[in-house]
Structure 1
């Protein structure tokens, strides 16, 4: 009799634990069901891990938020757009990135940007930056994108990158040469070899508009 009761209790807690784990807190159940139908159960686990990340990072200090978000997305495999999407350039939404389980540099930066916005970090403190990356033992520069966080408008930003995965101040990233940056609020041009930047207008980038139309 006791064994039967124990078995029933174990089954009950297993079922309730499973149902709780599959109820998202930061997006609707309808969105979760649509996502699962489109990308499958394996992908839905990644989505729930993202949801858990947001929940666990909400009450953390800023640097922990940056590190947790940076580390989470950097675990997703890298894949070129031409291979992954059959296009030369495609900016995936965080849902597409998590759904397909792969992406390239701008997908990491975009996913980190929107996750940190979800965690309450102001838009003006975040910028996605198009840079030229100088690889070791190479004289050629590679097009690349990273996310940066500015504690104050003129402060040296912290770089969140999928290649050099450690959080570093931009002054410690001599391998990066900023060209322009953007967020939801505007477009910025790099000046003084990337040490400063100036706002040159609204964010009217075609790829950004296309991205936002898919949210």
Structure 2
């Protein structure tokens, strides 16, 4: 009986190894844990992400931005209350991909960390809290986007899940920047968002909670 169990165990191990999917940016161990937690549909999603990241490594910065923006914008939008049962929850990228839904900050966060993985420098990326003017109304909605600065003084490119096309911030009059942040600091918008001022370290509670899960 014991020999039978040993043989079965070896067969299972061999079968598992034979069906292992080659990955580039996620270990097989982490992929297995991810699949066990979120299911096969989520596994397919993260494998597509893995391939996208690998292909994007050889591309120029604009194509990196576009590929990452396009990939995450295909994930379904859902409010935190609907999806997490919480008023506000900042999902880690693998939580976002695993559950297959999230709201604006989840898109921005996932794009930010994926571009960092692609080697985009920290000081070129900021997650930006804005007021979004809804078309045809005077209503301003709280919203988050990712912004990319090619140089410290250049007009940033906006990566957004509402307007899904990459655009310079000057081409997005519907967005009114309030503040922005990355792992290095926190900036306050000035002059109606035309400039920003570093006001200190990023001590946002939601960011610290997010980082504890990454």
TM-score, normalising length: structure 2: 0.90
C-alpha RMSD over aligned residues: 1.2
What SS does the corresponding residue of 2:85 show, helix, strand or coil?
Answer: coil
Structure 2 counterpart of 1:12: none
Structure 2 counterpart of 1:29: 28
1:170-185 matches, cutoff 5 A: 170-185=169-184
Measure how far apart 1:24 and its partner are.
Answer: 1.8
What SS does the corresponding residue of 1:152 show, helix, strand or coil?
Answer: coil
1:110-149 matches, cutoff 5 A: 110-149=109-148
Distance of 2:25 and 2:38 partners within structure 1: 19
Structure 1 counterpart of 2:190: 191
Aligned length: 198
Deviations along 1:133-162, whole A, 9 cap, x unmatched? 001111110000000000000110000000
Measure how far apart 1:23 and its partner are.
Answer: 2.6
Distance of 2:145 and 2:211 partners within structure 1: 19
Deviations along 1:99-152, whole A, 9 cap, x unmatched? 000000000000000000000000000000000000111111000000000000
Distance of 2:173 and 2:179 partners within structure 1: 16
Structure 2 unaligned spans of 5+? 1-14
1:191-210 matches, cutoff 5 A: 191-210=190-209
Measure how far apart 1:176 and its partner are.
Answer: 0.2
Structure 1 counterpart of 2:108: 109
Distance of 2:197 and 2:136 partners within structure 1: 32
TM-score, normalising length: structure 1: 0.90
What SS does the corresponding residue of 1:203 show, helix, strand or coil?
Answer: coil
Structure 1 counterpart of 2:50: 51
Distance of 2:44 and 2:77 partners within structure 1: 19
Structure 1 unaligned spans of 5+? 1-14
Q: Kindly report structure 1 stretches of 4+ aligned residues shifted beyond 2 Å.
A: none
Measure how far apart 1:54 and its partner are.
Answer: 0.5
Structure 2 counterpart of 1:5: none
Deviations along 1:53-107, whole A, 9 cap, x unmatched? 1000000011000000000000001000000000010000110000000000000
What SS does the corresponding residue of 2:101 show, helix, strand or coil?
Answer: coil
Measure how far apart 1:28 and its partner are.
Answer: 1.5
